[in-house]
Structure 1
Amino acid sequence: MANKVKSDKDYSQYFQPPSLTDAKKRGKEDIAVHYDFQIPEGMKEFGADKYYLIRTFGCQMNEHDTEVMKGLFEQMGYQATEDKFQADVILLNTCAIRENAEDKVFGELGHLKALKAEKPNLVLGVCGCMSQEEAVVNRIMQKHAFVDLIFGTHNIHRLPELLKDAYFNKEMVVEVWSKEGDIVENLPKKREGIRAWVNIMYGCDKFCTYCIVPYTRGKERSRRPQDVLAEVRDLARQGFQEITLLGQNVNAYGKDFEDISYSFGDLMDDIRKIDVPRIRFTTSHPRDFDDHLIEVLAKSGNLVEHIHLPVQSGSTEILKKMSRKYTREHYLELVAKIKRAIPHVCLTTDIIVGFPGETDEQFEETLSLVREVKFELAFTFIYSPREGTPATDMEDNVPMEVKKQRLYRLNELINELSKQGNEKLQGEIVEVLVEGESKNNAEVLSGRTRTNKLILFTGSKDLIGKLVYVKVTHAQTWVLKGDIVDAPVKNISIPS
């Protein structure tokens, strides 16, 4: 039951907030799978002549959650809008990975406060990962009492009921489940474009010391293989050209099954046989990236030659403090295996600089690993403590100026390696999925190669959404340029 919180009261007596202490006591619990989801009868026309707006912060998982919420809204009769003045409901789907992500959301709430005062009937909600954090929920309830609705990541399917409560009770509605939710299949989704995301699992059991995700998203729960495969087949029938499989740690898929032996490699091998031009996945954990998965990915076809493999640090000592549960040597051995099996693979990664206690020598180890692997793109971050994680108890003793200098040096190296990787494609013919017009020139088309590189070229607008072949004529640091050609060269792997 959702909690109704009166704005003129002490919120704590009405609401039991999400508890990180309880999350850390995670045990083995049965997860049920539900196939009987339906919009409640009284809510099917609830949104007639009303508009919704969802602003999404964070990762692909948040984007996918937004697709589900859009599907729920539209089955209730709502229409989408990008105009906050037209909207009858505004939801902020939030991210908790880094402090600046939370700052953006609270800044947005500040901007929306005046709109709420002008439109008292506007329903304003906060959902997503931030809503799973105890301190964040308390802050919203105490300092942003104009918010009508707070709900978490485990109970998105409850949106119709929560919305009804928010409309009719005229009080803050709070429903955040600290316990991981069951898996709810058959939720509506509103997808747009030529790409689709498919959740294959939820949660994470790795408990890296800097990361809040295991507490906000809960323990690992894998969807049943037949449900994932059915969704991918349906997307293939709808004509989607590229599907990305999502999970906090996709390599752990299936490890929670007790009745069958079925791994992520098995799932990829089955999806490989479905008629979709491209299959991607994110994100991977090096510890769970096994030989069987490498063997399957090497079969190519619609399995593209791009692997995002977060390393976080090149120092074994820092990796231990991060509780990443692998060493520098293990990571490099894994990379060598992948490159032997998939010679043209493009590797990308995530790296944190300035983790508590990181010395100059340990940072240099990160740079040397980056040079050895030759990452062609990296998402790089300065360490910032997240309340509730073990790393907050460590002394954050790397000065900010040092962190910034390290980030600058790392990014300069990544830029250099990215340009080198692109220059290797000079004169090559690459397969390109045409995404649309270039952001800077409507006369130019843009698309992505199989290795996820951005390429610009001139062509007819009716090519958007199709696969074409482009000869690379110019290689820059972050973008390729080229000309369309009629036929691929022999060494290109064409999806079967």
Structure 2
Amino acid sequence: MKVHVSTYGCSASQASAEIMKASIRDKGHDLVPEKDADVLVINTCTVKYTTEQKILHKIGAAGDSGKEVIVSGCMPEVQLEDILNQNPQAHILGVNSVSKVTDIIDSLGSDKGSIQVFMEEPEGFQNVPRIRYNPNIHICQLSQGCNFSCSYCIVSIARGKLQSFKPQEIVSDIKAAVSEGCREIWLTSQDNGQYGNDGDVLLPELLRMICDIPGKFKVRVGMMNPFSVAPILEDLLDAFDNDKIYKLLHLPIQSASDDVLERMNRYHTISAANDIIHRFRERFTDFTLFTDIIVGFPGESDEDFKKTLSWVEFYRPDKVNISRYTPRPHTKAWDLRKIDSRIIVRRSNELHGLCESIKLESKNAMIGWDGEVFISKEAKTKGMMARTDSYKPVVIPECHISPGVMCRVRVYDATAGYFLGNIVE
């Protein structure tokens, strides 16, 4: 069979696509561009309405063109009816069932109608072959699911309760990736801070186990919610104090108003999130902060939004993922009264403008910086992409050093997405 895999969403979704592509290849099928495919595997995301609509259109159009369609990822778990309305012949692969993709492909043409595979337990996420999007980066999923229920979040419904993968399996998976040449390890899940709450080994201890793996590599710890970081903060700070871990904290606040956070069912106050940020900044002088903010959540007043603007001005995060609130089916916020979309657009634009001005000031302040960087991968245009200890991206145009090597650079310019640097002899 000629198969194409397209994927949407987070790094965990990307990791699932890497696993499915390797499984398809190893079963003797051909991975081809979408236009040449007989079978289209669509690995879905349902966090945002706009993404959902794009995917549903693709599912319907692929079926109309005569292609066999396999839909995997989060959408089948919560929007199966929508998928089948678009394409009644679509085949379905539940979010835990990536290891079964070739079972469906091998069954095509048997006139069984829509084949649907849903598994209660996640299978085949660790220690399996991959076709990586980047051969230097290994995405390691730590767990499936979430034990919390933010009122806007459909993903926790799709992925179910927390199921942490065994620490020994994770360490073995990363050790194999490093031996295969990977020099960056991305740890991902719905919320990395929850890792091990259903077991004996929590995230800080897991990080220490990972850092004990021999080899030259760096670890990027993905998103952690404030309410999952707070109980492990002291141990987490100690675990981060290792040369192998990027000093990057991705801590979604979603809003700086406690009233909005309460309606979001976020389980934390803004002061609790602030305390975590202060503690990281006290511990690590070179530190990068990412956050997520939802604009226009039901009931958000002008005063609530001003609190968020003030927070951004004060804490000056290096990156803000801004989402305009859209209701998601099956969530607690679905029936809440919506804010006028024109207000949401205005607030979103204002927040984007503030974040861009802060980013520009931060980038200009970085010009002239001189320090050690870790060579990560080939740059998209020319040279190599490197990362500072706090994960700031530096492209070195005239560079032929292999990934995994440390070198000293001086930053001489900045673009919208990265810095430019020269190697200092």
TM bucket normalised to smaller: over 0.9
DSSP 3-state at the match of 1:169: coil
Work out the number of aligned pairs and report it. 420
CA shift in 2, pair 1:90/1:331, >3 Å: same
Structure 2 counterpart of 1:113: 63
Structure 2 counterpart of 1:292: 234
Question: Shift of residue 349 of structure 1?
Answer: 0.6
Calculate the aligned-residue CA RMSD, in Å. 2.1
Residue 325 (structure 2) aligned to one of 383, 403, 408: 383
Instruction: Give, in whole Å, the separation in 2 of the partners of 1:223 and 1:416.
Output: 41
Using structure 2 for the length normalisation, give the TM-score.
0.93
Give the aligned residue type for 2:142: I
Question: Shift of residue 314 of structure 1?
Answer: 0.4
Deviations 1:79-121 (A, max 9, x none): 3222x242232100000111111111122224323431xxxxx
Deviations 1:292-341 (A, max 9, x none): 34332442311111111111000011011111111011111111111111
Listed as ranges, the matches of 1:127-166 within 5 Å are 127-133=72-78, 136-147=79-90, 149-166=91-108
Question: Shift of residue 474 of structure 1?
Answer: 1.9
Assess if the C-alpha contact under 8 Å between 2:183 and 2:403 holds in 1. Answer: no
Assess if the C-alpha contact under 8 Å between 2:142 and 2:187 holds in 1. Answer: yes
CA shift in 2, pair 1:105/1:184, >3 Å: closer
Instruction: Give, in whole Å, the separation in 2 of the partners of 1:183 and 1:445.
Output: 33
Deviations 1:463-487 (A, max 9, x none): 567544321112355431221223x
Residue 124 (structure 1) aligned to one of 63, 69, 72: 69
Question: Shift of residue 281 of structure 1?
Answer: 1.5
Question: Shift of residue 407 of structure 1?
Answer: 0.8
Instruction: Give, in whole Å, the separation in 2 of the partners of 1:423 and 1:298.
Output: 27
Structure 2 counterpart of 1:20: none
> Does residue 155 of structure 2 align to residue 204 of structure 1?
no
Instruction: Give, in whole Å, the separation in 1 of the partners of 2:127 and 2:30.
Output: 21
Instruction: Give, in whole Å, the separation in 1 of the partners of 2:376 and 2:206.
Output: 27
Give the aligned residue type for 1:144: N
> Does residue 310 of structure 2 align to residue 360 of structure 1?
no
Deviations 1:193-225 (A, max 9, x none): 211100111111111000011111111011111
Assess if the C-alpha contact under 8 Å between 1:205 and 1:220 holds in 2. Answer: yes
> Does residue 410 of structure 2 align to residue 471 of structure 1?
yes
Structure 2 counterpart of 1:339: 281
Instruction: Give, in whole Å, the separation in 2 of the partners of 1:424 and 1:293.
Output: 32
Give the aligned residue type for 1:426: I
Moved more, 73-82 or 460-469: 460-469
Deviations 1:155-175 (A, max 9, x none): 222223222333323522123
Structure 1 counterpart of 2:260: 318
Deviations 1:230-279 (A, max 9, x none): 1111112112110011111111111101xx3x210001112122224210
In structure 2, runs of 5+ residues without a counterpart are none
Instruction: Give, in whole Å, the separation in 2 of the partners of 1:476 and 1:181.
Output: 41
Instruction: Give, in whole Å, the separation in 1 of the partners of 2:125 and 2:18.
Output: 15
Structure 1 counterpart of 2:116: 174
Listed as ranges, the matches of 1:9-48 within 5 Å are none
Question: Shift of residue 354 of structure 1?
Answer: 0.2
Residue 66 (structure 1) aligned to one of 4, 7, 17: 17
Deviations 1:351-406 (A, max 9, x none): 0000000000000111111122210111101000001000012111x211111111
Assess if the C-alpha contact under 8 Å between 1:458 and 1:484 holds in 2. Answer: no
Structure 2 counterpart of 1:405: 346
Assess if the C-alpha contact under 8 Å between 2:135 and 2:181 holds in 1. Answer: no
Question: Shift of residue 347 of structure 1?
Answer: 0.4
> Does residue 396 of structure 2 align to residue 453 of structure 1?
no
Instruction: Give, in whole Å, the separation in 1 of the partners of 2:125 and 2:362.
Output: 42
> Does residue 366 of structure 2 align to residue 425 of structure 1?
yes
Instruction: Give, in whole Å, the separation in 2 of the partners of 1:437 and 1:250.
Output: 28
CA shift in 2, pair 1:448/1:104, >3 Å: farther
Structure 1 counterpart of 2:209: 270
Instruction: Give, in whole Å, the separation in 1 of the partners of 2:408 and 2:337.
Output: 52
Instruction: Give, in whole Å, the separation in 2 of the partners of 1:337 and 1:68.
Output: 37
DSSP 3-state at the match of 1:390: coil
CA shift in 2, pair 1:358/1:369, >3 Å: same
Residue 216 (structure 1) aligned to one of 127, 142, 158: 158
Assess if the C-alpha contact under 8 Å between 2:397 and 2:420 holds in 1. Answer: no
Assess if the C-alpha contact under 8 Å between 1:434 and 1:468 holds in 2. Answer: no
Pair member with larger Rg: 1
Residue 348 (structure 1) aligned to one of 277, 281, 290: 290
Instruction: Give, in whole Å, the separation in 1 of the partners of 2:264 and 2:249.
Output: 22
Residue 98 (structure 1) aligned to one of 39, 48, 51: 48
Give the aligned residue type for 1:311: I
Question: Shift of residue 434 of structure 1?
Answer: 4.5
Instruction: Give, in whole Å, the separation in 2 of the partners of 1:186 and 1:279.
Output: 18
Assess if the C-alpha contact under 8 Å between 1:419 and 1:478 holds in 2. Answer: no
Instruction: Give, in whole Å, the separation in 2 of the partners of 1:347 and 1:213.
Output: 23
CA shift in 2, pair 1:450/1:168, >3 Å: farther
Moved more, 281-290 or 428-437: 428-437
Listed as ranges, the matches of 1:485-496 within 5 Å are 485-486=424-425
Q: Percent identity?
A: 24
> Does residue 32 of structure 2 align to residue 81 of structure 1?
yes
CA shift in 2, pair 1:198/1:399, >3 Å: same
DSSP 3-state at the match of 1:391: coil
CA shift in 2, pair 1:184/1:447, >3 Å: closer
DSSP 3-state at the match of 2:110: helix
Using structure 1 for the length normalisation, give the TM-score.
0.80
